[in-house]
Amino acid sequence: MEGYDVVVAGGSISGLLAAREIGKSGYSVLVLEEGFEVGTPDHCGGLVSKSALHDLAIQPSQKTFDCMINSAEIYSPAGKKIGINSKNQEIVVVNRRELDKQAAYQAQQSGAEIMVKTSFKEKTDQMVQTSAGEIKCKILVDCRGVSRLVNSDRDGILLSAQYEVYADWIIDGKVEVYFDQIKYPGFFAWVIPSGNGIGKVGVAGKEINVSKTITDFLKSKGKHSVIRKIFAPIWIKGPIKKFVSDDIVIAGDAAGQSKPTTAGGIYSCGMGGIIAGNAITKYFETGVVSELEQYQKSWHKKFGKEFEKQRLARNILERIDNNVIDKIFDTITPEILSEISDKDDFDFHAISIVKLLGIQKSLNVTQNVMRAEIKRLLMR
């Protein structure tokens, strides 16, 4: 029976980067990927900053980059539009299949093994049950994504649909976001360009028929051709309570490390994998359990305050109606937009949300039930 120091369930960005960190320290690690290849299916919007890729220590190839994002247009339910210049934030759209393959290559070069078309079933005492049989290991890293959370807390799950589309209304370098609490309750619709008239168009929302909703949205946008359809759950409730339980370490989407505002997680989930991998390495080196538990503390030190602010912003969004959103749009000034464009950080964008909500000026247009949460958001 073959054995490893670590088995990683899920060839996601978090799982692959955890494997990279563990493997380069000389420990044996196996990544189990249930798909026929790493990076498939691609249900990620692909937005990430160049600085985030630098922190993740991923050196993308030319094929990995789809395009640079220069601007964003955000629409209210009544069609009011605000524009943000994002050139200073150096945001790129990456091809997730290619990005994940780059991470897989790094993991393999560090000594990790990757096994595709193999699914994780359960962890028993120093043993992992898989579709290919039993595998002995000391630590399991669970990076199976949102699917791990579906049965534990359905309140944090939204259904989403994202289509890859050809259309002449997709503008290279420009992201579009559409708010409407009737059509996309608690979330939004989006258009993310990939370049040359191709883009990712998506919708998500509470208790909506995402297939019908995205069809209606595409019709409203105009003529188009659909290349690929992806339906997937997204997690919007923030990190789970416990990242480490005995010999099981949870990272990435499986640990709720995607952003509560947008469900994006290349950076926060990728860093989750890196931090987890480093903590496991230190645990092996010292035998001290507290080194393993340091993983959760380190991740929260980097992302905890930001995610708490994003959760509060999400609570506000979920409680306001279209009329309030339109009024908030009226409070957004050119000075606010200029400040966001010049100074704010894409990866830590809670402060941008505060500014866009016009919170300081919009207390008088929001419902009383929100006031305490708005004040908490401003004080953090």
Give residue 167's pLDDT band: very low, low, confident or very high (50, 70, 90). very high
Closest CA relative to residue 277, chosen from 302, 251, 239, 257: 251
* pLDDT score, position 66: 83
Q: Is the pLDDT of residue 173 over 90?
A: yes
CB 1 within 8 A of CB 11: no
How far apart are the C-alpha atoms of 231 and 208, rounded to whole Å? 13
Angle between helices 13-23 and 266-286 (to 10 degrees): 30
How far apart are the C-alpha atoms of 13 and 273, rounded to whole Å? 8
Each residue's pLDDT tens digit, 37-81 = 887 777 788 999 999 999 999 877 778 888 899 999 999 999 999
205 three-state secondary structure: strand
Each residue's pLDDT tens digit, 106-160 = 999 999 999 999 999 999 888 999 998 999 999 999 999 998 887 676 778 999 9
Q: Is the pLDDT of residue 268 over 50?
A: yes
Each residue's pLDDT tens digit, 185-223 = 999 999 999 999 999 999 999 999 999 999 999 999 999
Give residue 367's pLDDT band: very low, low, confident or very high (50, 70, 90). very low
In the chain, DSSP assigns E strands to 3-9, 29-33, 47-49, 65-69, 71-75, 81-85, 91-94, 113-116, 120-124, 127-130, 133-142, 157-166, 174-178, 189-195, 198-205, 225-235, 244-245, 248-250
How far apart are the C-alpha atoms of 367 and 199, rounded to whole Å? 37
Q: Is the pLDDT of residue 363 over 50?
A: no
Closest CA relative to residue 214, chosen from 172, 183, 244: 183
Give me the percent of the chain exceeding a pLDDT of 90: 68
Q: What is the pTM of this model?
A: 0.91
Q: Is the pLDDT of residue 319 over 50?
A: yes
CB 263 within 8 A of CB 190: no
How far apart are the C-alpha atoms of 73 and 23, rounded to whole Å? 42
Ordered structural domains, the chain, with CATH: 3-75+90-151+237-303 (3.50.50.60), 156-235 (3.30.9.10), 309-379 (no CATH)
* pLDDT score, position 369: 40
* pLDDT score, position 177: 95
* pLDDT score, position 376: 54
Q: Could you tell me which residues come within 8 angstroms of residue 310 by beta carbon, excluding any fewer than 6 positions away?
A: 238, 259, 260, 261, 349, 350, 353
